Amino acid sequence: MTLIQSLRDLSVSPVSAPRADYQNLLLSLPDVVLLLREGVIDWVSPSLTSLLGWSQEDWRGKPLEQFIHPEGLPTTITMLLSLDKGQRVMLRLRLLELCGSYRWVEIHAGPYLDKRGQLDGVVACFWCIDKDMQVHDELKHRASVDELTNLFNRREGLQRLKQLFISNMYNSQNLALLFCDIDHFKTINDLYGHSCGDLVLKSIAERIAKGLRSQDIAARLGGDELLVVLSGVSKEEDAVRIAEKLRSSVAEPILWNGKGIRATLSIGVALASPHESTDEALARADEALYEAKRNGRDQVACPLA
């Protein structure tokens, strides 16, 4: 008799004295064990209640996908296909709690074979990993974000830019690049010190972030160079209008030791062309930035046609 068969017997048959001991042991297990047949939950251990709030009857006879966060469904389908081939898998996904929220769990699953060795479903075991995922997310955030400005760092910013360009090729999602440089930033550092320079850089980053929409991204490429990527902008004049708003917002004085420090931005704008590479678009935005600097700084410029 297999483990899962023993567990199922405990859940459906009268409990005798020895079986009560096993039942108590089963109730104390924090991990959840379940048996799936054709994607439907045939049996689940009582620990389901303490972990997610559901009773066993809430899950029996229901498709597992009913309790999986939508973002995890493609991965689960791939997992089930692998199990049909006799493989064992491990995956992490979010499962629905009775209260309506989701919890991260780690699932280990494999094929369930009957007495003749024939595939008769899937047996799986899972447990909560909310704390592990929280640590994972924090580490991922630290690895992708510039510590001072809280904008994306260079690596993450350029990676996301490439992803947007790929999406642009297939979905006609128009993009505009704003290459930004803080005017005379070295002078600010020299006059007031690096602590003031850090405050200026951080304040400018905050103002830029507040002026963007949820689908836009901003990154610190290094030093005082910032990159803004606007999604869904199809006209050059629209990109320039947004850039002007950012420039005006940044130009407001920044309080430092009772003094108002005024920092300005030079911004180069480039509207991404279809099938253009990220390097080509960045080069055009960089060219426009230097045009803004040559013409006196604290302004927005577009590349020559």
Contact 274, 280 (CB under 8 A): no
CA distance 197 to 220: 15
H or E element at residue 111: strand 102-113
Please, is 191 exposed, middle or buried when counting C-beta atoms within 10 Å of its C-beta (0-12, 13-18, 19+)? exposed
For residue 215, the 8-state DSSP code is T
- Residue (of 241, 238, 263) closest to 252 by Cα position: 263
Q: Supply 83's token pair.
A: 């199990």
190 is catalytic: no
Q: Which residue is catalytic, options 181, 183, 216, 224?
A: 224
**Which of 65, 23, 63, 64 lies closest to 46, judged by CA?**
23
Strand partners, 182: 265
**Phi, psi at 88, each rounded to 5°:** -110, 145
- How many other C-beta atoms can be found within 10 angstroms of the C-beta atom of residue 221? 20
Block residue for tokens 């001072």: 148
Q: Report the b/e string of 254-269 with b at 16+ CB within 10 A.
A: bebeeeebebbbbbbb
Of the CA atoms within 13 Å of residue 163, those in its CB half-sphere come to 9
Burial class (CB in 10 A: 0-12, 13-18, 19+), 161: buried
Catalytically active residues are 224
